[in-house]
Structure 1
Amino acid sequence: MTPTDRPPIARAACVGGGVIGGGWIARFLLAGIDVDVHDPHPEARRIVGEVLDNARAAYGRLTGAPLPPEGRLTFHDDLETAVAEADWVQESVPERLDLKRAVLARIDAAARPQALIGSSTSGLLPTDLQEGLAHPGRLFVAHPYNPVYLLPLVEIVGGRQTAPEVVTDAIERLAAIGMKGVHIAKEIDAFVGDRLLEALWREALWLIKDGICDVETLDDVIRYSFGLRWAQMGLFQTYRIAGGEAGMRHFLAQFGPALKWPWTKLTDVVDLDEALVETIAAQSDAQNEGLSIRRLEQIRDGNLVAILQALKTGDEGRGWGAGKLLSEFETELWRRATPSGNEPAAQADEGHELVVPPAWADYNGHMTEHRYLQVFGEASDRLLARIGAGTDYVAAGGSYYTVETHLRHLGEAHAGDTLRVRTRILSSDDKRLHLLHDLGRADGETIATGEHMLLHVDRESGRSAGAPEHILSKISGILATQEPAPETEAIAGRAIRPAGNGAA
């Protein structure tokens, strides 16, 4: 990644490393941002480390785009040192106004003048948090949702003294780390998301209190029905569809009168007495017997990854909702990882290292077959990027298409294995590019090879065409500098042949 392609947040500081703070740390680190952390909790390093382990595993399943090198994580005993060099400071201490004011005052005094300061509060007003600050104009609420490293939404709420350009700047910076900042135009207790959640939560408590259902049934009603709709269309877009061809007006006319019916107890707050607390807690214990919090987090992350990946291919491949946002973020990651085409002649491949994610293992515990093709396809993409035929070149109308592939499985890969894939150019002319990929372990053992023949194509006509000189010269540069042919090259050009007579 060139200096001009670094994310707008080059260095972040997180004050507080609990559930939300740990999620922020993971989001920043996995976007390639160095993070300084201050949290006086004696177990802070362990807690953050466990959250980060889950986040890494989730990202391994979330995207095949080349993530930047993980940022550097540094813990500090002193708050002032932690925030001194940050571009963005995220405060995530417990939800007490006096505590947050005291911590934010220290952050404000120690942070660089141009640093943005976000508070993860889920309900305190930013104007109240700005009281006593020397530089209140740069403080705003940045309220995320758990897990922060997967759920992209952040509510951005300015106080009376927040500079308008700070809100705009914050939203733009969040986009660079794959997050969706939404500006809440007016201060209101609990903002927007928590107000909606609170309404549902109150009604849910009454349904349990009155014995209508137990907690598992209530969760099933949400997760098997409207929860899936909300994941990709929200509330109003969902209800617009419910109105049929006549749209939202028909829906409101048909279902609006129900608002006056005695369906809800939202105006009557349930008494959370000890008996109701014990009922809910016991039912929840039974529902989750044998499942630790970390295991529940892993299940949650896996489900969210699956939903986001599914939404990424929605709307006939154009993406939808949070999936479309993920697709746009991946496109930017590919762009950052792709040479601009103005660099000196490409050099030989130094190899690309990868760790086999758990989701890539099949019923035998081995990396499943189609993942080898994915690894080799991505290796081809990296080679094309190095010769100037990356995403920008494709957008301009030229591309290399794979017209023939030959895979050989020589060993086994398991979840957690560290592998390295190296790419050689076997031959080329103005239209053809013959590649051989070698996938092996650190000790040099080759476990698979992938041979690919690529054809240069003019995408507008859909026909083969000669590649331009700037690409051909980089191919020549690689051919001149790559190492002598390895043993695996001896198998290039072979094909699967029928077994002879007497074969078992």
Structure 2
Amino acid sequence: MAGVAAIIGGGVIGAGWVARFLLMGWDVRVHDPDPEAARKLAAVLDNARASLPGLLDVALPGEGRLSLHETLAEAVAGAEWIGESVPERLELKHRIYREIEAAADPGAIIGSSTSGFRPSQLQEGSARPGQILVTHPFNPVYLLPLVELVASPANPADVTDRAARILTGIGMHPLKVGAEIDGHIADRLLEAVWREALWLVRDGVATTEEIDDAIRYGFGLRWAQMGLFETYRVAGGEAGMRHFIAQFGPALSWPWTRLTDVPELDDALVERIASQSDAQSGARSIRDLERIRDHNLVAILRGLKGQNWGAGQLLKAQDERLRPEPGDLGRPIESLRRAVPLDWTDYNGHMTEARYLHAFGDATDRIMLLIGVDPAYLARGGSFFTAETHIRHIDEVLAGAMIRVETLVLEGRGKKMHLFHRMFAEEPGGDRLLATGEHMLIHVSLETRKACDPEPELAARLGAIAEAHARLPRPDGVGRSVGRK
């Protein structure tokens, strides 16, 4: 359920929180004394609006209202969620919390983006320590779902649970860290890799680009979908994790790494790292690199979504939370409404031919679900197969555009289901017709793979919708074939 969020600090992480809450329908108030805050925030929002909607196969909620506030007190008054994303200085955070507590609702959740401080440290000197939690995200916050949710003994369980529900509601994965520890979980793992990488550069073993290639072309892709332990479990083969540990465990005592020692970040090492990084990435601006990163993350996450695995499983669950009810089935049925994702476009810059069919196929699947072709029905051995399809490509549509499909059931008797889809682009000046799709489907037995009658209850639902739609005007294009006017 959307509410009001206040974000204190509009830097990289704070702006990411703003984008995540705002695009998930929350009203967001921002306080940041930086005179450039509005410009920087607008740049992050542009990137988020171009990428986040493409992660989901349903439309996002209506965007919330964004407001920038001169004073912290004005921003936090009445807010349900207060996100603190100020610099990592404990005395500064303590001062900010005192200001928040003086103006905020006592029931508000105060979530800190700190990457290292423990919640008990943040709560020192607080009048209401139970409000303050660690909610540590990862950049870009509007795309990456992980939030390390860390509580102390001062936090009531219901506060932590409510924080988790809010984070889940905006499409994130709250990882409840069971104990307070400096750096939480993820940053401690990242620090270990970072230290070793610094030594590899310092000792002249590898360049920054070689280290990045080792990660992005190798184990980084494995980690993105299985993490560390499950990856190693698979590496153990049929014998599993025990075999892996028995085989590779002794290597942990070998002097492969220098993790027990930290290199001094002297001027020479800083210059070496900076110059190698400039050579590796300096030809592109930060904004270009952010867009490349965002497009790649969308593609990876959508790929995982297609497999219903890891972060992709989370996206599927968010689809279902945001999917609207079908409304009056006696009218043209809104069978699909979504943004055109980045990976649906081609060299012409518009949606590919295959994706028109993809969208119509998703619309057909929605109709099938509405009439009762659900997992239980499939398990009983019945389904529909498409026998014939005719698509008219009427106009083009670009990435990021909102599309809607309306469906008429032209026939629903016996083994046949005859559908007519119309796809529209939703635009401020009015809807624009993009394409039509006419599809004939035949009910089949999944056991014999041959045509058969549907179950009586499904047949009755389909027939009732077809009878109601028969009274509606027939849109242009019904019955058309290639070359005929």
Give the 5 Å matches for 1:456-495: 463-466=453-456, 467=458, 484-486=473-475, 488=476, 491-495=477-481
Please tell me whether residue 438 in structure 1 is matched to residue 422 in structure 2.
yes
Please tell me whether residue 238 in structure 1 is matched to residue 225 in structure 2.
no
Give the Cα–Cα distance (whole angstroms) in 2 for the partners of residues 412 and 183 of structure 1.
Answer: 45
User: What is residue 4 of structure 1 aligned with on the other side?
Assistant: none
Shift of 1:395: 5.0
Is the 1:311–1:323 Cα contact (8 Å) retained in structure 2? yes
Secondary structure, counterpart of 2:147 in structure 1: strand
User: What is residue 67 of structure 2 aligned with on the other side?
Assistant: 74
Give the 5 Å matches for 1:304-453: 304-314=297-307, 319-334=308-323, 337-339=324-326, 346-348=330-332, 356-380=340-364, 389=371, 394=374, 397=377, 401=384, 403=386, 404-415=388-399, 421-426=405-410, 434-440=418-424, 446-453=433-440
Q: How much identity, in percent, do the aligned residues show?
A: 53
User: What is residue 149 of structure 1 aligned with on the other side?
Assistant: 142
User: What is residue 108 of structure 1 aligned with on the other side?
Assistant: 101
User: What is residue 297 of structure 1 aligned with on the other side?
Assistant: 290
Is the 2:82–2:109 Cα contact (8 Å) retained in structure 1? yes
Is the 1:456–1:465 Cα contact (8 Å) retained in structure 2? no
Secondary structure, counterpart of 2:19 in structure 1: helix
Secondary structure, counterpart of 1:12 in structure 2: strand
AA matched with 1:496: V
Give the Cα–Cα distance (whole angstroms) in 2 for the partners of residues 37 and 328 of structure 1.
Answer: 29
AA matched with 1:464: P
Shift of 1:171: 2.1
Give the Cα–Cα distance (whole angstroms) in 1 for the partners of residues 152 and 299 of structure 2.
Answer: 37
Please tell me whether residue 170 in structure 1 is matched to residue 163 in structure 2.
yes
Give the Cα–Cα distance (whole angstroms) in 2 for the partners of residues 455 and 66 of structure 1.
Answer: 30
User: What is residue 272 of structure 1 aligned with on the other side?
Assistant: 265
Shift of 1:245: 3.2
Give the Cα–Cα distance (whole angstroms) in 2 for the partners of residues 333 and 353 of structure 1.
Answer: 11
Please tell me whether residue 91 in structure 1 is matched to residue 78 in structure 2.
no
Question: What 5-or-longer segments of structure 1 have no aligned partner?
Answer: 1-6, 499-504
Is the 1:345–1:473 Cα contact (8 Å) retained in structure 2? no
Secondary structure, counterpart of 1:312 in structure 2: helix
Is the 1:348–1:479 Cα contact (8 Å) retained in structure 2? no
Deviation readout 1:385-429 (Å, 9 max, x if unpaired): 8xx548xx7356389846342101234334466666544454555
Give the Cα–Cα distance (whole angstroms) in 2 for the partners of residues 88 and 186 of structure 1.
Answer: 23
Give the Cα–Cα distance (whole angstroms) in 2 for the partners of residues 300 and 76 of structure 1.
Answer: 31
Shift of 1:368: 0.7
AA matched with 2:213: D
Shift of 1:110: 2.3
Shift of 1:274: 1.1
Is the 1:338–1:382 Cα contact (8 Å) retained in structure 2? no
Give the Cα–Cα distance (whole angstroms) in 1 for the partners of residues 446 and 23 of structure 2.
Answer: 34
Please tell me whether residue 190 in structure 1 is matched to residue 183 in structure 2.
yes
Is the 1:434–1:452 Cα contact (8 Å) retained in structure 2? yes
Is the 1:25–1:35 Cα contact (8 Å) retained in structure 2? yes
Change in Cα spacing, 1:406 to 1:95, as seen in structure 2 (3 Å) is same
Deviation readout 1:153-181 (Å, 9 max, x if unpaired): 11111123111232233223322222111
Given candidates 479, 482, 485, the residue that maps to 1:496 is 482
Shift of 1:264: 2.0
AA matched with 2:240: G
Give the Cα–Cα distance (whole angstroms) in 1 for the partners of residues 194 and 286 of structure 2.
Answer: 21
Secondary structure, counterpart of 1:86 in structure 2: coil
Is the 1:143–1:156 Cα contact (8 Å) retained in structure 2? yes
Shift of 1:275: 1.3
Is the 2:4–2:27 Cα contact (8 Å) retained in structure 1? yes
Deviation readout 1:427-457 (Å, 9 max, x if unpaired): 5558755443333565676442212345678
Is the 1:458–1:465 Cα contact (8 Å) retained in structure 2? no
Change in Cα spacing, 1:438 to 1:474, as seen in structure 2 (3 Å) is closer
Change in Cα spacing, 1:229 to 1:422, as seen in structure 2 (3 Å) is closer
Is the 1:431–1:465 Cα contact (8 Å) retained in structure 2? no
User: What is residue 220 of structure 1 aligned with on the other side?
Assistant: 213
Secondary structure, counterpart of 1:412 in structure 2: coil
Give the Cα–Cα distance (whole angstroms) in 2 for the partners of residues 125 and 172 of structure 1.
Answer: 21
Shift of 1:90: 1.3
Segment drifting more, 74-83 vs 430-439? 430-439
Change in Cα spacing, 1:460 to 1:394, as seen in structure 2 (3 Å) is farther
Is the 2:345–2:398 Cα contact (8 Å) retained in structure 1? yes
Segment drifting more, 467-476 vs 448-457? 467-476
CA-based RMSD of the aligned residues comes to 3.2
User: What is residue 501 of structure 1 aligned with on the other side?
Assistant: none
User: What is residue 211 of structure 1 aligned with on the other side?
Assistant: 204
Give the Cα–Cα distance (whole angstroms) in 2 for the partners of residues 469 and 111 of structure 1.
Answer: 56
Segment drifting more, 272-281 vs 448-457? 448-457
Secondary structure, counterpart of 2:374 in structure 1: helix
Given candidates 28, 32, 35, the residue that maps to 1:35 is 28
Give the Cα–Cα distance (whole angstroms) in 2 for the partners of residues 255 and 377 of structure 1.
Answer: 47
Q: If the length of structure 1 is used for normalisation, what is the TM-score?
A: 0.83
Give the Cα–Cα distance (whole angstroms) in 2 for the partners of residues 358 and 310 of structure 1.
Answer: 13
Is the 1:126–1:159 Cα contact (8 Å) retained in structure 2? yes
Change in Cα spacing, 1:246 to 1:436, as seen in structure 2 (3 Å) is closer
Deviation readout 1:14-50 (Å, 9 max, x if unpaired): 1122111111122222222222222222222222222
Give the 5 Å matches for 1:11-26: 11-26=4-19
Given candidates 104, 129, 143, the residue that maps to 1:136 is 129
User: What is residue 43 of structure 2 aligned with on the other side?
Assistant: 50
Give the Cα–Cα distance (whole angstroms) in 1 for the partners of residues 335 and 232 of structure 2.
Answer: 51
Secondary structure, counterpart of 2:63 in structure 1: coil
Give the Cα–Cα distance (whole angstroms) in 2 for the partners of residues 21 and 216 of structure 1.
Answer: 29
Change in Cα spacing, 1:196 to 1:255, as seen in structure 2 (3 Å) is same
